Structure 1
Amino acid sequence: MTRPVLYDYWRSSASYRVRIALNLLGIEHDTVAVNLLTGAHRADDNLARNPQGLVPTLAVDGHDLTQSLAIIEYLHETHPETSSLMPGDAGGRHRVRALAHAIAMEIHPVCNLSVASHVADLTGGGDAAKATWMQTFISKGLSALERMLDHPATGRFCHGDTPTLADLCLVPQMYNARRWGIDLTPLPRLVAIDAACNEMAAFADAHPDRIGPPQA
């Protein structure tokens, strides 16, 4: 059986989510770096497997899978004996998806680096405009998420006491928040859940600092 291959960029939040999922499920795989800074995501080989010109792509089971949340749900569904990334009940699955989507579909698209860079170019504000944009929208999104976690189903992790898709989205976003200098003091639930996650090897081993930038 062919080993899965993850086409990845070290600081991509979407790639980071998938790395965590693969680690949690114990799926051995190979990794190929796609260097976004050199435009490798726009090269013909990456476009052939990912027509959007994005990362990650997971080549697995004869498929080139794209979109991180869809990849993670595929891994959950194809590893039912080991995966608890989605709850077993419909209400739980809705809550986990709502938390994950609040990050991946609300915060992440607005705070994609290409978006912030475009804003900086349009305004002529340079790095200061980019940082202000990131701090504004990451803070707003995480504050809403903190309120969403004021819920009886929140446990050691976003939903109960086992990591789910929601935690796989949260941890990369918390990494980005720290990278952009967000004050996390008003977000004690998020900070506690992030810390609990990063105590686990599956999360720690997926951290961008552990992966490092592509070699020249």
Structure 2
Amino acid sequence: MADLLTCREAAQLLNIDLLNLVDILAVGDIVPTEPDGLAGSEVWARNEEIRLCETDIDLIKAELRRRQFADFKRDYVDVYQQDEKPGARGLEFGPGWLGVLTAYADGLRALNAKWNNSHAQLRWGKEKFGALHLYSDYLLATKIEVINLHREAYKSSLQTCQECGLPARLRFGHSICLTLCDRHKHTIGEPDPTRDGIILDLNAWMLEQRD
């Protein structure tokens, strides 16, 4: 690839949405070839100036694979079977929670062995209010052992950066909250001083307000 590509051209080459590509660059872990040193919060404002080389494209391909949890889906096919019903969901959260996800999946494997290969399976998961919510087979989800796995994944996610997996806390912007480390906290924008660093578990905080 001799010529540098615009974000739009790169998105077409990678067969992804332009916003998806810019969002990956805005995280700041992949710095485009041009403009020099552009990263983080500047990416959205100046994305039309960005030019990407072949090495950049290769890095983005690897990042897409990481964000799609491709290796996890291969290695945990016995305990992860994506829901195929109409409107089915997938693994809709940041790649930094891979360790939390694999701990949950290892827990399901252990339960399958305990329950004589009952095949408890994870179906889908999402990020909500900066925390990880996982959904397994609906009958098995009523068992306390599976409930405890869900609780542990939820708790761990609120202490783990959803971008890179480093220790983190819930961060509040004015319109979004995400669990992020210091290096990735810029992705929420300007912090909301009335909530950032004060509310560390939004679900728990909302329950407290009802009492």
Assess same fold via TM > 0.5. Answer: no
Structure with more of its chain in helix, by fraction: 1
Question: Which protein is bigger by CA-based radius of gyration?
Answer: 2
Larger relative CO (CA 8 A, sep 6+): 1 or 2?
A: 1
